[in-house]
Amino acid sequence: MAAVTLQDVAQRAGVSQATASRVLNGSSRVPGEDVADRVRTAARELGYVPNAQAQALARASTGLLGLVVHDIADPYFSSIVRGAQAAARAAAKQVLLASTDRDFDIERESVSTFIAHRADAIVLAGSRQSGHLDRELEAEFERYRANGGRLVVIGQPLAYGGAVEPENQAAAAELAEALMDAGHRQFAVIGGPGSIRTAVDRRNGFVEALCRRGLSTVVEVSGDFTRDGGYSAARRLAAALQLEPGAAAAPVCVFAVTDVMAIGAIAAWRELGLQVPRDVCIAGFDDIPTLRDHTPSLTTVALPLERIGARAVELALHGAGDIDDLRERVPGRVLLRDSTRLD
Amino acid sequence: MAAVTLQDVAQRAGVSQATASRVLNGSSRVPGEDVADRVRTAARELGYVPNAQAQALARASTGLLGLVVHDIADPYFSSIVRGAQAAARAAAKQVLLASTDRDFDIERESVSTFIAHRADAIVLAGSRQSGHLDRELEAEFERYRANGGRLVVIGQPLAYGGAVEPENQAAAAELAEALMDAGHRQFAVIGGPGSIRTAVDRRNGFVEALCRRGLSTVVEVSGDFTRDGGYSAARRLAAALQLEPGAAAAPVCVFAVTDVMAIGAIAAWRELGLQVPRDVCIAGFDDIPTLRDHTPSLTTVALPLERIGARAVELALHGAGDIDDLRERVPGRVLLRDSTRLD
DNA sequence: CTGAAAGCGCTTACAG
DNA sequence: CTGAAAGCGCTTACAG
């Protein structure tokens, strides 16, 4: 990668390397217009491209932003990344992306690499067990932070670093309220893995809201945080409730903790001949764009995913201030639609 | 970012910097076990993390892979990125991601930055006008390549660089064949922007296959490469064909060049009271995961998106050989489903 | 096997 | 305003 160097440019322009550096980058010490012109011309003619690695080494900052997500192909995360990417561009930062497949080793490894690359900030999207990182990761972050690195989490806050928190619990509670207001009285839940905080929060918010009005769930099942997880959980649920086509007087209303799981559930029920919302109702969470045209339209909670991603990056980059104090809560918005319609 | 340095480690271990460097990285010159142990211990105790920037400067390579996509929130691209990410990890490379919103200036800017960061390779996903980059981009790539940078495009090949080509045209033709075999005789097309090669190829492949059997499209409309583009195009199509609920003896079969557009089209028709496949049939392209449970199930062409992303990275990283010769074609697979069912 | 030293390509006090 | 020089943190021939 033997490219044109600053030295080459300086030589051709007949100035020192220092001068060339000053005109080519926004230094406060501005050389005379004539000299500057010569340098710019030389740079253009030679096709000079500054070596960001060398700049990073000489300066304090790399202009890199590390972004860790569980699964980039999951629309939840890709929306977050889209927002993060836009905010990074606005701040002239480059995004280093890691998609971990929810593997903790890969996650740790990715973070290490980001630190090795001296990313100016790291954004961690996707919640983990009870807000705790494992020891090694924690130790790395400790040093990272000591060296001026900034950390922002999307989800529940860690012991240090900023956080953008979707109000999963509160929003799930609102959803429950809305459903009860709509006349529902029988509820069930399709939850996610107990190790995923987001899943737990949503489930808890929903169930507690029911409790407050003296109701409780008829049954709860859970599965992976995926379409297939929703599918298999829904089969178990159907068996547990002995759901049958056309049999229900008042359909049970099921809350699946993500839209993607809800879609899997509907698919499972369809195979059993069950219709939504006639035989069973369902609500999801996330308001995934590609699912907005689903039939029946899915009752869900909209989270401003792109804005969440963008805010996380802004907090991470917003130079001044103690980052540990940067906590932002983002509310969800309940969308009542056909999948929970009572005739 | 004043972190622990190699020098610190060397000092603590009582060896030279060179020795420390050799034990901490897989050098061929392996120091004695005792010395090595001392160094490793010192590194661990100090929490040493190598500075990738400095390493990149000293070595020839940065370990960075630049990946450019049109829109990371589009499931088409996020699937590609997932595959690319996995392949990059397998090769111990870090992914630098840019999502350009289909803006050519942003794209050019992103590529420049990747080059500035001395990415070892760049993968460009998402086709552009007639296989030509604009002059500036082209000139940059020229130099990039001259300096040992490797370029791989997903889509139609450029004048240089490797390419992974989804066989859009051939697959669209197969789709047309399959639909004709299924008994369809009346066809229409919802195309994409004329500037997007992928859209054009799919449209052409489909229409030419019809021609070969003496058929032609009743009407063609086009729109943006998005859900809304499909939606509005579908409204125009409905007007042009004077589609009415329950009126059609044999429904027209519409080919939308992407699944996402097809979904928008179905939504538009639904609002007009038109049912799929009773009043109008539709087929898409891409086999987007979140749409697999759509009702009615969508006839489409499956493209192994993750594999495409992974292969692009593999070609880009596969050190030896002239990269310009690396061309790989990836076939699609036709999936006939309910949305084109004839009763 | 180990070390002293040059070099990777920039930036930035420090002088002039 | 401009330049010589040190320094950012590593790697790697070149000697020993």
pLDDT in tens, B32-55: 778 888 899 999 999 899 999 999
The torsion angles phi and psi of B291, rounded to 5 degrees, stand at -100, 0
Give the model's confidence band at B148: pLDDT under 50 very low, under 70 low, under 90 confident, else very high: confident
Q: CA at A168, C1' at C9: how many angstroms apart?
A: 48
Amino acid at A206: F
What are A162's strand-pairing partners?
A152
Q: CA at B55, C1' at C3: how many angstroms apart?
A: 20
CB–CB of B167/B329 below 8 Å? yes
Q: CA at B92, C1' at C3: how many angstroms apart?
A: 31
Q: CA at A6, C1' at C6: how many angstroms apart?
A: 19
Q: With beta carbons under 8 A apart, name residues in chain B contacting A101.
A: 86
Across residues A54-83, what is the average pLDDT? Answer: 94
Token pair, residue B109, equals: 């800017």
Nearest CA in chain A to B147: A1
Q: With beta carbons under 8 A apart, name residues in chain B contacting A79.
A: 73
Across residues B122-128, what is the average pLDDT? Answer: 85
Say whether the peptide bond before residue A277 is cis (omega within 30 degrees of 0): yes
Q: CA at B84, C1' at D11: how many angstroms apart?
A: 29
Find the farthest-apart pair of alpha carbons in chain A and give their distance in angstroms, rounded.
Answer: 89
Model pLDDT for residues A121-149, shown as the tens digit of each residue: 999 998 666 556 677 788 888 888 888 89
Among all strands, which nt has the closest C1' to A29 (CA)?
D1
* CB contact set of A258 (below 8 Å; sequence gap of 6+): A76, A192, A199, A225, A230, A284, A285, A286
Q: With beta carbons under 8 A apart, name residues in chain A contacting B112.
A: 49
Within a 13 Å sphere around the CA of B62, how many CA atoms are in the beta-carbon half?
29
Q: With beta carbons under 8 A apart, name residues in chain B contacting A53.
A: 53, 56-57, 62, 117-118
The percent of residues above 70 in pLDDT, for chain A, comes to 94
Across residues A165-190, what is the average pLDDT? Answer: 97
Nearest CA in chain B to A147: B1
A268 touching B (Cβ < 8 Å): no
Across residues B4-19, what is the average pLDDT? Answer: 91
Across residues B220-231, what is the average pLDDT? Answer: 95
Q: Where are the beta strands (DSSP E) in A148-246?
A: 150-154, 162-166, 187-191, 217-222
pLDDT of A132: 63
Q: Chain B: nearest CA to A156, how far in angstroms? A: 23
Across residues A1-29, what is the average pLDDT? Answer: 83
A47 touching B (Cβ < 8 Å): yes
Give the model's confidence band at A189: pLDDT under 50 very low, under 70 low, under 90 confident, else very high: very high
A108 touching B (Cβ < 8 Å): no
CA distances from A13 to A39, A252, B139, B272 (A): 5, 78, 22, 68
pLDDT of B339: 97
Q: Pick the residue with more confidence: B323 or B118?
A: B118
Give the model's confidence band at A85: pLDDT under 50 very low, under 70 low, under 90 confident, else very high: very high
Model pLDDT for residues B243-252, shown as the tens digit of each residue: 988 776 789 9
Q: Pick the residue with more confidence: A2 or B98?
A: B98
Give the model's confidence band at A26: pLDDT under 50 very low, under 70 low, under 90 confident, else very high: low
Across residues A215-224, what is the average pLDDT? Answer: 96
Q: Determine if strand D comes within 7 Å of the CB of A35.
A: yes
A293 touching B (Cβ < 8 Å): yes
Q: Which of residues 207-236 of B touch A (CB under 8 A)?
A: 227
A60 touching B (Cβ < 8 Å): yes
B258 touching A (Cβ < 8 Å): no
Q: CA at A28, C1' at D5: how many angstroms apart?
A: 21
Q: Pick the residue with more confidence: A168 or A131?
A: A168
A46 touching B (Cβ < 8 Å): no
Q: Is the per-residue pLDDT at A91 higher than 80?
A: yes
Across residues A271-297, what is the average pLDDT? Answer: 95
pLDDT of A1: 47
Across residues B139-160, what is the average pLDDT? Answer: 87
Q: With beta carbons under 8 A apart, name residues in chain A contacting B95.
A: 96-98
pLDDT of A95: 97
**Strand bridging mode A300-302 / A333-335:** antiparallel
Contact call for A264 and B227, based on CB within 8 A: no
DSSP codes, A242-295: T--TTT-SS-EEEEESSHHHHHHHHHHHHHTT--TTTTEEEE-SB--GGGTT-S
Size of interface A-B (CB pairs under 8 A): 173
Q: Which of B56, B73, B288 is the closest to A82 by Cβ? A: B73
Q: Is the per-residue pLDDT at A69 higher than 50?
A: yes
pLDDT of B28: 62
Q: Which of residues 271-290 of B touch A (CB under 8 A)?
A: 288-290
Contact call for A72 and B89, based on CB within 8 A: no
Q: Determine if strand D comes within 7 Å of the CB of B18.
A: yes
Token pair, residue B97, equals: 């991601």
Q: Chain A: nearest CA to B197, how far in angstroms? A: 23
Contact call for B227 and A72, based on CB within 8 A: no
Give the model's confidence band at A31: pLDDT under 50 very low, under 70 low, under 90 confident, else very high: low
Nearest CA in chain B to A71: B82
Q: CA at B150, C1' at D3: how many angstroms apart?
A: 38
Residue of A320, A316, A322 lying closest to A96 (CA atoms) = A316
Token pair, residue A234, equals: 């829904």
Chain A 43-62 contacts with nucleic strand D (CB below 7 A): 54, 57-58
Q: Chain A: nearest CA to B150, how far in angstroms? A: 11
Give the model's confidence band at B26: pLDDT under 50 very low, under 70 low, under 90 confident, else very high: low
pLDDT of B129: 63
D strand bases under 7 Å from protein CB: 1-5, 7-13
Q: Is the per-residue pLDDT at A34 higher than 90?
A: no
Q: Is the per-residue pLDDT at B84 higher than 70?
A: yes
Q: With beta carbons under 8 A apart, name residues in chain A contacting B61.
A: 1
Q: CA at A28, C1' at D2: how many angstroms apart?
A: 14
Say whether the peptide bond before residue B289 is cis (omega within 30 degrees of 0): no
Give the model's confidence band at B1: pLDDT under 50 very low, under 70 low, under 90 confident, else very high: very low
The torsion angles phi and psi of A128, rounded to 5 degrees, stand at -135, 175
